[in-house]
Homo-oligomer: A and B are copies of this chain.
Amino acid sequence: MKQNRKGLLLVISGPAGVGKGTINLSLISRNNDIRMSVSATTRAPRPGEIDGVHYFFQSEEEFQNMINNGAFLEYMRVFNTHYYGTPKSFVEQELEEGRSVILEIDVQGAMRVKAAYPDAVLIFIAPPSMSELKSRLIHRGTESSEAIDRRFETAYEEMQHVNRYDYVVVNDILDLAIARTEHIIAAERCKVSRNGELIEKLQGGRSAL
């Protein structure tokens, strides 16, 4: 009998610039039993974004139909404009087949997922310090100083919700942060609460006497 055969639903959040995208890409390339969930959205693709890779780009009507069919694990409308959502079918199929699925979503999305899937594992990727985060945002060099200030304000805001997560992984050294996340995934598979079938079998094993 193997340990926990069902996959884990992993929610990975963290402020812009903390490196969560790099960590997640590394997790899926190193582990063939971990997949990334692709979100659906009604906003238009930005240059370079590929349908089905970065997002599933949908019309408002398609998105509404999926809402009506209960086909989202969670969804939200941003500022009364665009919808964003996590399609349920991909996630559920992967979990059923024993693979874990990463949702890279923000704090509000994470809370909606936790409400729908109490078994989800919530991981917050944190910078070693806020000044380090600021300097990473600056050194990306892709944004105006106003945009950087806004991102940092948002990061500070997000940081106030870390306590609602299960784990905090500090991205001080990338390889360490990846390893910590892998440790968390492996450990969660050993949780007693995820091994009911195995335990029941062992508890009934008196017949081996």
Q: How large is the interface on A (under 10, 10 to 19, 20 to 34, 35 or more residues)?
A: 35 or more
| A192 is an interface residue with CB less than 8 A from chain B | yes
| A180 is an interface residue with CB less than 8 A from chain B | yes
Interface-lining segment among A55-63, A78-86, A164-172: A164-172
Q: Is the CB of A129 within 8 A of B168?
A: no
Q: What is the oligomeric copy number?
A: 2
CB distance from A121 to the nearest CB of B (A): 10
Grouping DSSP codes into helix (H, G, I), strand (E, B) and loop, the A interface class, with mixed when no group exceeds half, is: helix
Q: Is the CB of A183 within 8 A of B190?
A: yes
Residue interface bits A44-68, CB-to-B below 8 A is 1, else 0 = 0000000000000000000000000
Interface-lining segment among A87-95, A106-114, A195-203: A195-203
Residue interface bits A166-191, CB-to-B below 8 A is 1, else 0 = 11111000000001101110111011
Q: Is the CB of B192 within 8 A of A183?
A: no
| A139 is an interface residue with CB less than 8 A from chain B | no
Chain B residues with CB under 8 A of A183 = 182-183, 186-187, 190
The chain B residue sitting closest to A180, CB to CB, is B190
User: What CA separation (Å) do A153 and B206 show in the bound complex?
Assistant: 8
The chain B residue sitting closest to A164, CB to CB, is B192
Residue interface bits A148-164, CB-to-B below 8 A is 1, else 0 = 01001100100110110
| A124 is an interface residue with CB less than 8 A from chain B | yes
| A27 is an interface residue with CB less than 8 A from chain B | no
CB distance from A131 to the nearest CB of B (A): 4
Q: Is the CB of A205 within 8 A of B131?
A: yes
Chain B residues with CB under 8 A of A202 = 126-127, 129-130, 159, 162
* Chain A positions near chain B (C-beta within 8 angstroms): 1-3, 123-124, 126-131, 133-134, 149, 152-153, 156, 159-160, 162-163, 165-170, 179-180, 182-184, 186-188, 190-192, 195, 198-199, 201-203, 205-209
**9 sample A-B contacts, Cβ–Cβ < 8 Å, listed by A number:** A3-B168, A126-B198, A127-B202, A129-B202, A168-B191, A168-B198, A182-B183, A183-B187, A183-B190
Cβ-closest 5 pairs across A and B: A130-B205, A187-B187, A183-B186, A131-B208, A130-B208
